[in-house]
């Protein structure tokens, strides 16, 4: 992974279809997220593997009255 080296804040107008946009729906005219990031922002998303923090809840019970 290579960082962009960009610093500071940016005000952008980014438009992309959500992953669940339906064909023929109002959002169908927008580009998919991966295409939009590359076309509108000049960035390319690449898949990668790395460590991820995970929280596992084994059991849950309703609280009792005090």
Residue 51 resides in a domain: yes
Residue 27 resides in a domain: yes
Number of domains making up the chain: 1
Residue 11 resides in a domain: yes
pLDDT digits (tens, 9 = 90+) for 11-22: 889 999 887 777
Task: Give residue 57's pLDDT band: very low, low, confident or very high (50, 70, 90).
Answer: very high
Containing domain of residue 48, as a range?
Answer: 7-66
Name the pTM for this structure.
0.53
> For the stretch 14-48, what's the b/e string if a residue is b when 16 or more beta carbons lie within 10 angstroms of its beta carbon?
eebbeeebeeeeeeeeeeeeeeebeeeeeeeeeee
Q: Which two tokens stand for residue 1?
A: 């992974």
Residue 2 resides in a domain: no
Longest distance between any two alpha carbons in the chain, whole Å: 58
Beta-carbon contacts of 32 under 8 Å, excluding residues fewer than 6 positions away, are 16, 17, 19
Residue 18 resides in a domain: yes
């Amino acid at each position: 992974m290579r960082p962009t080296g960009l610093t500071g804040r940016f005000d952008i107008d980014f438009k992309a279809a959500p992953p669940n946009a339906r064909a023929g729906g109002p959002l169908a005219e927008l580009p998919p997220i991966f295409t939009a990031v590359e076309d509108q922002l000049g960035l390319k998303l690449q898949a990668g593997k790395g460590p991820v923090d995970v929280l596992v809840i084994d059991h849950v019970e309703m609280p009792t009255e005090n």
